[in-house]
Amino acid sequence: MLLVRELIRRQPTPMTPCGVEAGRTKRSEGTCRMKRMDPVNADTILRRFFAASGHVQHPESLLRYERVQDHLRNYLEHIAAAGLTDTEQELLALERQFGTETPYVQVMGARELLHALPDFLAGPQLLPDFHDRLAQISVASRLAQWLCSRQLVQREDSWNDVVLTRAAAEQARRSPAL
C-alpha cells in the first residue's frame, strides 16, 4: 500500500497558465517564463529554512531559534491543522493511520505553511519571553519572504497571505508584553 505522500508526489506535473509543463519555458515565443513550483513538504521547507538561517552564532540565539522552530511545528500540528479544509484534514487522518507523528508537516506544503503564518503571530500564539517573541516575529516574516523568493509559492496566488503575515508581524511587534 502506498503512503499518502507518495500518492501526492505522483500527481501529474502541473502546467503553467500558458500550457507549458512546469519547470520549462517557451523561450522561442517569449510568452511564458514561469518556473516550477517545488512540491516539497513543510518539514523539508522548515529544515531548509532554519539551516539557511544558521548564521546565528550566539548560543542563546541558537536556543531561541530552536524554541521558535519547536513552537511553530507544534502550532502547525495542533492548531493550524484544525483550520484546514475537510479534504486536507482527511489527508492528515490518513497519514496518521500510518503512524506518522507529524502529519501536517509531512503532507502539507509551502502554500499551507504560508497560509498558517498570520495566525502563528496572533496574540495567543506569541511566545511569553520578549526576546523569543521578537525571534518568532522575525522568523515568520522571513519565512514568508523566503517562500516567495525561493518560488515555493506563486507570489500572485499567495499575496494575501504575505500581506496578512506582514500585518500580523507589525501587530505582534506593537502588542504589550505578556
Model-level pTM? 0.75
One domain for residues 29 and 99:
no
Q: How many CA within 13 A on the CB side of residue 77?
A: 15
Exposure b/e, 57-86, CB count within 10 A at least 16 = b:
eeeeeeebbebbbebbbebbbebbbeebee
**Count of domains for the chain:** 2
Over the chain, what is the mean pLDDT? 80
pLDDT in tens, 121-137: 998 999 999 999 999 99
- Same structural domain for residues 44 and 20? no
Cβ contact 29:23 at 8 Å: no
Residues 29 and 49 in one domain: no
For residues 124 and 156, the answer to whether their CB atoms sit within 8 Å is no
Residues 75 and 12 in one domain: no
User: What is Dmax (Cα atoms) for the chain?
Assistant: 58
113 and 25 part of one domain = no
* Residue 27 in this model has a pLDDT that exceeds 80: no
Q: How does residue 46 score in pLDDT terms, banded at 50, 70 and 90?
A: very high
